[in-house]
Amino acid sequence: MATLETQISQQQEALDEADEQYNQDVVNLGTTRSELNTTQSAVTATKSKLDHEHALLRQAAIASYVSSTSSDALAEIFAAPDNASQTRDLYAHLGAQNIAEVVSRVATGQRQLRTTESKLQAEQQTETAQLTQEGQARAGAEAANAQAEATLAQVKGTLAQEVVQQAAAEAATAAQQAAGSGNPAAREAAAAQAAQAAQVATTLSGGSAAAQAAITSANEAAGPPPGTGPVGSGGQPDAAGLAAVHGAMQYLGVPYVWGGASASGVDCSGLTMLAWAQAGVTLPHSAADQYADTQHVSLSDLEPGDLLFYDFGGDGIDHVVMYVGPVLDGQPTPYGTDTIIQAAHTGTVVTFDPLWYYGLVGASQP
């Protein structure tokens, strides 16, 4: 049974990382394609302008050949110089000047076109590389999800209950080990073990008492992030944050689907992206990018709608949840100050949960 717990935890962790990598690749590809469209439009505009300048150059060349001047100079020529010699001099001077100006504009346009076309070619190469990366990330996420679903499909009924009970007991034991250890490395290892057990318990039994006990043990083992105190609620809730929470609540009960961002399924950053869209705020579909693009706030002064970010795999941010807080719409929330709403893992649905300290990196406010 311990092997089964480890397998479930490792598969969920692998899916978290694969899902985040896929989301980042999709965001990057979208950015590159937007730049590609802009550059393509610039190429088209430059070519159009260059065609116009070429037409002017042809007209000026013909006018100069026929009458030693350009059509743009006719008005000045008809200003009636004093004699025929002055007329010829003015004719030649203005014709040469006009042609030189048009030639200069054509040369400038050609240089701009070459530069823009080089940029377009580089962006096309980047797009091709990113398409390959996105395909590889998609395949990795699909494989990780298939493994997770296959394992969870085997763990049902009595077996699932037994696994949850054992996971809760292991989390409690690990918390005791962490509390009694003076060795930072041993404490961290115990905290990781408790978090793994709690993850398995919550995946298999959601809001059961055993699962909640496992989360409590995991939080006791991990403690708040270094340099911070316990997570706490701030003052008066922000209207936009409350709108985002209500936006997230529209997806309660929707299943977790990697890469998902719709009523049929969401992943962690898909949920927070859709929720904040209800408040008029645009976020990228990536936990790491959401953390990078938003204003970081103190964990001790959170408001409803703030986002909490996690690094479960040790390779960077791979999970995001939304803070709810102790009161919502005048009613106490299920887990008080620790209440969050999230799309957790394969096999779960969007739900209110207690927050985790293990792997917590920080918080931000969109």
218 in Cβ contact with 188 (< 8 Å): no
Question: By three-state DSSP, how is residue 274 classified?
Answer: helix
Find, among 59, 86, 62, 102, the residue nearest to 77 by Cα: 86
- DSSP E strands, 153-285: 261-262, 265-266
Helix axes 2-67, 157-180, angle to 10 degrees: 90
- Phi/psi region, residue 339 (left: phi>0; alpha: psi -120 to 50; beta: rest), is beta
Residues in the chain, pLDDT under 70: 1-2, 53-54, 56-100, 102-103, 106, 227-229, 234-235
Non-local CB neighbours of 114 within 8 Å, separated by 6+ positions: none
Is the torsion defined by CA of 348, 190, 228, 216 positive or negative? positive
CA distance 319 to 296: 16
Quote the distance between the C-alpha of residue 335 and its chain's center.
28
Pairwise CA distance, residues 247 & 296, whole Å = 21
Alpha-carbon span 272 to 269, nearest angstrom: 5
Going 256 to 263 to 35 to 307, the CA torsion angle's sign is negative
pLDDT of residue 199: 86
Q: Give yes or no for a contact between 81 and 87, defined as CB atoms under 8 angstroms apart.
A: yes
pTM of the model: 0.79
Instruction: List 341's β-bridge partners, or say none.
Output: 322, 352
If we measure between CA atoms, which residue out of 285, 308, 294 comes closest to residue 354?
308
Distance CA 341, CA 353 (A): 6
Confidence (pLDDT) at 360: 92
Q: How confident is the model at residue 184, as a pLDDT? A: 81
